[in-house]
Structure 1
């Protein structure tokens, strides 16, 4: 176990002051890793079930093998690790806006860091996911126009509670159509949300994708002794899909 409390990193970023903290939870007797942006808690290693399910639910929709996957948002690495657990995955591109977060993994400050940086299928890319999703060159700066089997996103708290106002346009029909153009035929877009299923956003997804669902992922909350829940939106069958191609 580590110290009772330790700030592993703190830096000013264009989005605010980001910090990585590790604390010993005396009730559970485990080290808890937490990320804060200014005074806003972004993530905690106590609550990773839904982040892992984002990877599993998204890939479960896909048949076949040799999958090329994008994860938008690195965080503590749980979605990326869940993707790498699937042996069908050929490549994983993780897009993270903050150098600081990538540095935590490359410096080995987080429990899953070795898995992500040591897997030859995985690549950590510094970039603004939302800007790349609308860029004509696409999501892979090294391969303009490249398309993917799945794009899995865990960045904002929810489609209506975004970390920066510039992200809001992504959650509109126009923004989602641009994202869908980065998918191969039959490809999947999946999104983590901290809020309950939003009928309005589900309707927006349905303007772009033929198959949309919003399963609720429940998990134990050790802080309350009860259950908590997140939502994972899963969408496939974008407009313009054809039965064959790549």
Structure 2
């Protein structure tokens, strides 16, 4: 019997390109993995999830208190949000994604992390533009989030949408800071090595800013790969 190497689970047009979810067999690890493509560009894969989970772990490790409220920018395959839910101090996780199709995948429990994510009563999935949301003035009765975790663009220098670029400037970071509670934590995933120019901008707005290099074994290359997680604390 022939083995199916690729299976397309969903395809949908979106405002930023054709979005595809597929499942395939990866010979290097001998298991099925899930991949998301936007047009011809690979966005994410379940083959490597260490840094996505570390985004939540490092961000929450820097947070203090109980009943933490977490805002996640970018749902993707769900690994960051699920990692946040595993912290017993977390009282709520709100995940904002611009693409309703991605939210629908999880609501239909198509992905490995979906069941744990959507069946947790602390989870809220919201279809919205995270970057536009950060530009808005928070409501007067909004206490601010304990932690904001962001994983949408490839890096502060390489965005999926040019409109995202302003968030990674001092002005954009100050707008984001308005949505954090006093002493709240902002953490950002990046596919690039630590960016010193971005660190200067981050430190101009936040305290305790640091860039963490997250290394993981790469079964495809036989070597070690790495991502960066930036973590910073609100001054307000």
Which category of TM-score, normalised to the shorter sequence, fits these structures? over 0.9
What does residue 68 of structure 1 align with? 69
Rounded to whole Å, the distance in 2 between the matches of 1:45 and 1:14 is 24
- Structure 1 residue 4: Cα displacement: 2.1
- TM-score, with length taken from structure 1: 0.92
Q: 1:144 to 1:131 in 2, by over 3 A?
A: farther
- Structure 1 residue 135: Cα displacement: 1.0
Q: 1:178-193 maps to which residues of 2 (within 5 A)?
A: 178-193=175-190
Cα pair 1:189 1:235 within 8 Å, conserved: yes
Secondary structure of residue in 2 paired with 1:205: helix
Rounded to whole Å, the distance in 1 between the matches of 2:49 and 2:128 is 23
Rounded to whole Å, the distance in 2 between the matches of 1:182 and 1:27 is 42
Rounded to whole Å, the distance in 1 between the matches of 2:68 and 2:115 is 22
Secondary structure of residue in 1 paired with 2:36: strand
What does residue 7 of structure 1 align with? 8
Which stretches of structure 1, 4 residues or more, deviate above 3 A after TM superposition?
A: 143-146
- Structure 1 residue 144: Cα displacement: 6.4
Q: 1:144 to 1:113 in 2, by over 3 A?
A: farther
Q: 1:136-151 maps to which residues of 2 (within 5 A)?
A: 136-137=137-138, 145-151=142-148
Rounded to whole Å, the distance in 2 between the matches of 1:89 and 1:180 is 20
Equivalenced residue count is 234
What does residue 168 of structure 2 align with? 171
Rounded to whole Å, the distance in 1 between the matches of 2:102 and 2:19 is 9
| Residue 237 (structure 1) aligned with residue 220 (structure 2) | no
Cα pair 2:202 2:209 within 8 Å, conserved: yes
Rounded to whole Å, the distance in 2 between the matches of 1:237 and 1:144 is 19
Root-mean-square deviation over aligned CA pairs: 1.3
Q: 1:40-55 maps to which residues of 2 (within 5 A)?
A: 40-55=41-56
What does residue 134 of structure 2 align with? 133
Unaligned runs of 5+ in 2: none
Q: Deviations over 1:182-206 (max 9, x none)?
A: 1111100000000000000000001
Unaligned runs of 5+ in 1: 242-246
